[in-house]
Chain A
Amino acid sequence: MITRRDFILNAAKGIAGLALPLTALEILSPDQLLAARGDSSKVRWAFLVDTFKCVGCGFCVKACKLENGVPLDANVTRTWVERYVLAKDGRVFADTPKGALYGFTTGKIDLGLGKFQDIKKEDIEKAFFVPKLCNHCENPPCVQVCPVGATYQTPDGVVLVDRTWCIGCGYCIMACPYGVRFFHPVYKVADKCTFCYHRITKGLKTACVQACPFGARMIGNIRDPNDPVSRIIRTERVGVLKDEYGTRPQVYYRGITREVI
């Protein structure tokens, strides 16, 4: 006969067992075991932006939205272009009207709240454009903070979001130092640049790379020594954005200055 004491003890054990999530047991997959012996992936996608070549036409923004089903009129975007204007008196102006979806149609700087700043040509020291997109960090804070593991890193280094699993808490959006994440207006889940994973894994270029008329954007495999992107990153002087956050971003820039943030 089962005594009350035994019953309570067994019930407590049962509840404790049920409460223990399977993830806590850490069952290693063969992939993880392989990774533990050193990163064996032959592919690590990286992006190169040549700011000297960018003219701010915004073709990349439009191509990205069309390719990836982000509504054109929605005020969010997976990639955008920023304009920096440095005046001779030391002032720095920057803007990105609608993410440069329609390019930069006026020389006036958009200050928000419907205000614009006109800068005379002779007052400009230098001006340039900087395209932005997800940095597909080696140490992505968005993946770290996702409470359900809906955002993850593929073995070839791309950070993706599982639309069927995201709960829409917005913690990843808060954690990203680059502001590349947003809530998709249709699917109501976190969304961001995927490096066009559906294209690059089939040997195609990303939509933005293909749309850029000036070759300002390139994607390549950083593990392949003969890859043009890999070669430029190794042999030329390139920079990354906000490396002080320890995210190890994988979008490299030619020709950025300290004003670019």
Chain B
Amino acid sequence: MYVHGEEWTIKELFVTPNEYIYWSIQIVMYPFMTGLVAGAFVLSSLYHVFGIKQLKEIARFALVFSLALLPVAMMPLQLHLQQPQRGIEVFLTPHFTSAIAAFGIVFSTYGAIVASEIWFVYRKYIVETALALENKREKSFEEKIRSVLYNILTLGSYDISEKALHQDERAVKILAGIGIPVACFLHGYAGFIFGSVKANALWMTPLMPVIFIMSAVVSGIALCMLTYIVVMEIRKILAARRKTTYGTYQSTEEIKGIEINVIRMTAKYLLFFLIFAISLELLDLIFRGYTAVKTWDILRSIIYGKDFLDIFVFQYGIGNLVPFILFLMPGLTIRRTAVGVLLVLFGVFMMRWNVVIGGQSFSLTFAGFMHYHLPIIPTNFETFKEGLMGAIVVIITPFVLFWILNKIFPVFGIEESH
């Protein structure tokens, strides 16, 4: 009879009987996905709140992507629960001394802000589409459904006068403004969940929430850039193939020009947050080594021994240093950016991995180790959802959702409602 965690945990030296890697790949995915949500939102807010015009093109994109990512932040949590049917109780009967109990409130507040901001940004488009479909005489079945959908989405407000649109603009600004601290809270609080576990020597640090926020913004911007590049490349191919303008009256050359400008600007912000994230992580590491309290012996053997490859080669080397150099070298190209952001995403993922799995790879006895073996080929439902397959499902979902959302709220080729 297997107990939860036994299938992927290997114990070495003195480990107590009940210790296993209880929080596996899905708990690595949770902060990773929440981080992407928060980062995408912060990126969109840079334009809406601080009026950084160069980010206009990517802002709306990032906002819709943030909504697509939102439900996925909850998915890994649901997948790791032993009693998933009771997961809703966290919302219904929260026990407020627990850091997890705030999840329902923070998550729904954030969801409401993102959804309403999107509504205000797209209101003009929604109303115009609804009216256009309404006035059409002969409607196909699909158009009928779209007509109903867009009429519902107007929420009964069809006023798109200059004054009303101006008010929308203000609402977006306010919502984006409130959204930044809430997004940071959503993710900082994920860091708090780990940082406040006093029983875990690696997790317990007040820096954890801040480190999480910084790396969240980094990963969110990186993912937006990557998806943006992919979408733009597809549009370039489509524009070239049709030999005509595609949708937005842009030629391949025009798309290329916009793309590189947006990417160069966004890359600057990515670098800025990356420097913050790395500084904080190094500060944490140096501080632990310098103060060298009782737990440092076991932590040192994890950080410089067992997890050396994961931490210093994968996370700091390939995930931070290499993209850092790639972005700093003059004459940034699209291809170099794509490689850079992929490495940044990998680096942030490894950081989550090293926190979540690394934090469980030593025993409470400080005299034993546990090794996590990621289940690749599932043998039962447990190894499916808490293995490579489960992680892949979580990674794919936001892109599927984005594809659906993009049908309703087209990210490209519409006039800003303000």
- 0/1 string, B90-133, CB within 8 A of A gives 1: 10111111111101000010000000000000000000000000
**Contact across chains for B16 and A183 when beta carbons are under 8 A apart:** no
**Contact across chains for A179 and B18 when beta carbons are under 8 A apart:** yes
- Across the interface, name the chain B residue whose C-beta is closest to A147: B100
Residues of A within 8 A of B16 (CB): 80, 82, 96, 132, 179
Residues of B within 8 A of A169 (CB): 77, 80-82, 100
Q: A144 vs B5: C-alpha distance in the bound complex, in angstroms? A: 23
Complex interface: stretch among B135-143, B171-179, B196-204: B196-204
- 0/1 string, B1-42, CB within 8 A of A gives 1: 111111000111111111110110000000000000000000
**Contact across chains for B23 and A96 when beta carbons are under 8 A apart:** no
**Contact across chains for A183 and B83 when beta carbons are under 8 A apart:** no
**Contact across chains for A170 and B3 when beta carbons are under 8 A apart:** no
Count: A-B pairs, CB below 8 Å: 151
Interface extent on A, as a size class? 35 or more
With A169-B100, A170-B23 known to touch, is A189 a contact of B365 (CB < 8 Å)?
A: no
- 0/1 string, A132-150, CB within 8 A of B gives 1: 1000000001011111110
Q: A23 vs B91: C-alpha distance in the bound complex, in angstroms? A: 12
**Contact across chains for B367 and A145 when beta carbons are under 8 A apart:** no
Residues of B within 8 A of A238 (CB): none
- Report A168-197 residues with CB < 8 Å from chain B CB: 168-171, 173-183, 185, 188-189
Complex interface: stretch among A68-76, A201-209, A213-221: A68-76
Residues of A within 8 A of B77 (CB): 169
Q: A212 vs B198: C-alpha distance in the bound complex, in angstroms? A: 33
**Contact across chains for B1 and A177 when beta carbons are under 8 A apart:** no
Residues of A within 8 A of B18 (CB): 76-77, 173, 179-182
Contact of A185 among B3, B17, B199 (CB under 8 A): B3
Q: A183 vs B367: C-alpha distance in the bound complex, in angstroms? A: 23
- Report A11-51 residues with CB < 8 Å from chain B CB: 19, 21, 23-24
Residues of B within 8 A of A180 (CB): 18
- Report B72-86 residues with CB < 8 Å from chain A CB: 77, 80-83, 86
The answer to the question of B206 belonging to the interface, with a C-beta cut-off of 8 Å to chain A, is: no
The answer to the question of B416 belonging to the interface, with a C-beta cut-off of 8 Å to chain A, is: no
Distance from A194 Cβ to chain B, minimum over Cβ atoms (Å): 15
- 0/1 string, B303-347, CB within 8 A of A gives 1: 000000000000000000000000000000000000000000000
- Across the interface, name the chain A residue whose C-beta is closest to B155: A8
**Contact across chains for B98 and A174 when beta carbons are under 8 A apart:** no
- Across the interface, name the chain A residue whose C-beta is closest to B18: A182
**Contact across chains for A176 and B199 when beta carbons are under 8 A apart:** yes
Q: A71 vs B103: C-alpha distance in the bound complex, in angstroms? A: 34
**Contact across chains for A147 and B90 when beta carbons are under 8 A apart:** yes
The answer to the question of A156 belonging to the interface, with a C-beta cut-off of 8 Å to chain B, is: no
- 0/1 string, B341-372, CB within 8 A of A gives 1: 00000000000000000000001111110000
The answer to the question of B247 belonging to the interface, with a C-beta cut-off of 8 Å to chain A, is: no
Contact of A261 among B19, B83, B101, B366 (CB under 8 A): B366
Q: A76 vs B199: C-alpha distance in the bound complex, in angstroms? A: 19
**Contact across chains for A174 and B1 when beta carbons are under 8 A apart:** no
The answer to the question of A111 belonging to the interface, with a C-beta cut-off of 8 Å to chain B, is: yes
- Report B363-408 residues with CB < 8 Å from chain A CB: 363-368
Distance from A129 Cβ to chain B, minimum over Cβ atoms (Å): 14
**Contact across chains for B95 and A188 when beta carbons are under 8 A apart:** no
- 0/1 string, A153-167, CB within 8 A of B gives 1: 000000000000111
Residue among A80, A94, A132, A245 facing the most chain B CB atoms (10 A cut-off): A94
- Across the interface, name the chain B residue whose C-beta is closest to A149: B95
- Across the interface, name the chain A residue whose C-beta is closest to B89: A148
- 0/1 string, B191-217, CB within 8 A of A gives 1: 001000111100000000000000000
**Contact across chains for B81 and A167 when beta carbons are under 8 A apart:** yes
Contact of A144 among B89, B97, B108, B156 (CB under 8 A): B97
With A185-B4, A189-B82 known to touch, is A174 a contact of B197 (CB < 8 Å)?
A: yes
The answer to the question of A2 belonging to the interface, with a C-beta cut-off of 8 Å to chain B, is: no
**Contact across chains for B4 and A111 when beta carbons are under 8 A apart:** no
**Contact across chains for A168 and B100 when beta carbons are under 8 A apart:** no
Distance from A255 Cβ to chain B, minimum over Cβ atoms (Å): 19
With A141-B198, A171-B98, A189-B82 known to touch, is A77 a contact of B12 (CB < 8 Å)?
A: no
**Contact across chains for A177 and B199 when beta carbons are under 8 A apart:** yes
**Contact across chains for A73 and B1 when beta carbons are under 8 A apart:** yes
Contact of A177 among B82, B99, B364 (CB under 8 A): B364
- Across the interface, name the chain A residue whose C-beta is closest to B24: A170
With A113-B10, A175-B197 known to touch, is A183 a contact of B3 (CB < 8 Å)?
A: yes
- Across the interface, name the chain A residue whose C-beta is closest to B98: A147
**Contact across chains for B90 and A148 when beta carbons are under 8 A apart:** yes
Residues of A within 8 A of B100 (CB): 145, 147, 169, 171
Residues of B within 8 A of A75 (CB): 3, 6, 17
Residues of B within 8 A of A185 (CB): 1-4
The answer to the question of B87 belonging to the interface, with a C-beta cut-off of 8 Å to chain A, is: yes
Contact of A94 among B80, B95, B365 (CB under 8 A): B365
Contact of B87 among A4, A167, A173, A174 (CB under 8 A): A167
| 9 pairs of A and B residues whose beta carbons are closest in the complex | A168-B82, A149-B95, A147-B100, A99-B17, A177-B199, A183-B4, A182-B18, A168-B83, A167-B86
A-B contact pairs, 16 of them (CB 8 A): A73-B1, A76-B3, A77-B17, A96-B14, A111-B12, A112-B10, A145-B97, A145-B100, A147-B98, A147-B100, A170-B82, A173-B18, A175-B199, A179-B18, A181-B18, A183-B22
A interface residues with partner B (beta carbon < 8 Å)? 4, 19, 21, 23-24, 71, 73-77, 80, 82, 92-96, 98-99, 111-113, 132, 141, 143-149, 165-171, 173-183, 185, 188-189, 245-246, 261
